[in-house]
Amino acid sequence: MVVLDDKRARILARELGLEVIVTLSTLKKRYKNGVLVKTPNKIYAHLIENRILYR
């Protein structure tokens, strides 16, 4: 599993068959815009603990 913030790097990693999880900066942007209720850190911890992947 890899955590990448750069979109092109995420695309390449997926093409190489690696598991890529959503980035913390993406969650922070959504939280700042009022899309998320829980804090990005809590959501990120939940994603990692449950191995919920972004595809």
Structure tokens at 20: 């890529």
pLDDT digits 0-9 by tens, 2-36: 666 677 888 888 899 887 776 777 778 888 999 88
Distance between first and last Cα of the chain: 12
Number of helices (H), then strands (E), in the chain: 3, 2
Q: Answer whether residue 28 is part of any domain.
A: yes
The residue range of the domain holding 52 is 22-55
Q: Answer whether residue 2 is part of any domain.
A: no
What local confidence, expressed as pLDDT, does residue 34 receive?
A: 92
Q: Answer whether residue 5 is part of any domain.
A: no
pTM of the predicted structure, to 2 decimals: 0.49
What local confidence, expressed as pLDDT, does residue 53 receive?
A: 59
How many domains would you assign to the chain?
1
Q: Answer whether residue 31 is part of any domain.
A: yes
Q: Answer whether residue 42 is part of any domain.
A: yes
Q: Give the phi and the psi of residue 20 in degrees, each rounded to 5.
A: -120, 130
Q: Answer whether residue 45 is part of any domain.
A: yes
